[in-house]
Amino acid sequence: MMLTDPVNITFECPPIDPLGREHVIGKLRFLPDEVELSWRLKGNVFTGGKGEMSTVVLPYGEIEHVELIKRWWKIRKLVFRVSNPRLLGEIPVSEMGKLAMEIDDRSREEAKKLESLIDFKRSIFLLDAQEERLRAMRDLDQTD
């Protein structure tokens, strides 16, 4: 796999109560330049039908932590944290920039690629940020 190949993960966040309210389903797409988190509320007895699809675009620099949780040697959950909680604020089951997702069976193989991909993308972001700071410092020195 090339590190530029997109990684797609289908997920769900179970409802917060037995009545099925705030049951979130969606897809995470790890693209070359950003992460797209598309989600919607799954219909239940009270709302009927499906909720409207929403998409949140996250730059790799905003991703604080991605953790894969295994149970019985299989990846079961993905815990996704961002540095700015407002980015995930619209998602009802998110807590202060943290979203715990149950991974669809078909997405487990894709999820194995995530740790190396996130580390690679974050290192590129940190390197670019460092170069930008150095460039700004050089520009300040040249103007003095």
Ordered domains of the chain (ranges, CATH)? 7-143 (2.30.29.30)
Alpha carbon distance 72, 38 (integer Å):
28
DSSP letter assigned to residue 86? G
Q: What is the pLDDT of residue 143?
A: 72
pLDDT digits (tens, 9 = 90+) for 60-112: 888 888 888 888 877 788 888 998 999 888 888 888 889 988 888 887 777 77
pLDDT digits (tens, 9 = 90+) for 9-27: 889 888 877 766 788 889 9
pLDDT bucket at 36, cuts 50 / 70 / 90? very high
Rounded to the nearest 5 degrees, what angle is found at the Cα of 54, between the Cα atoms of 70 and 108?
Answer: 20
The two tokens of residue 71 are: 């149970």
Residue 49 pLDDT > 80? no
